[in-house]
Amino acid sequence: MAEAKKQRQRRGEPLPDEAAFVVRGDLLDPDVLAEAAKENYAIYGFYGVSVFAEVGGITWEEIAATKLRRADWVVLFTARALLANGLELWDTGQVPHYDIAHDDLDQLVGRILGCEHRVVQNPLRAEGEPR
């Protein structure tokens, strides 16, 4: 693999409202989080875990029904909880995508797992939508 990393596009937006929900598809699995962060480092040169945030009037339910429609479960954080836990939210790619970022891989995964969150069934599944 080439050593040079791609420059990740940042949108330059203000942080999401502190009360905004930050949603990630699937259950929280430390191995999956670590692998995702390492893959992000391989391409973009920083440890980041992809999530989506309630910005621009988009609700987490809408994100779950579109971006995450194939996920049976979603995890909900608040922006406030993530930031208070020493994590950063980078506005990467296209709205409403973000990366939860930290300089240290173990800290990144540990702080995500230790952050207050709720695991909920994707509302699409609760409504009986087939996979």
Q: Which of 42, 45, 67 is nearest to 54 (CA)?
A: 67
CA–chain centroid gap for 122, Å, is: 15
Q: Does 106 bind other proteins (CB under 8 A)?
A: no
Which residues, numbered 35-54, are part of the site for other proteins (CB under 8 A)? 35-36, 39-40, 42-43, 49-52
Q: Which of 79, 86, 89, 80 is nearest to 110 (CA)?
A: 86
CB of 48 to other proteins, least distance (A): 9
CB of 115 to other proteins, least distance (A): 16
Residues at the contact surface with other proteins, assessed by CB under 8 A:
1-2, 4, 6, 8-9, 24-27, 32, 35-36, 39-40, 42-43, 49-52, 67-68, 70-72, 92-94, 97, 130-131
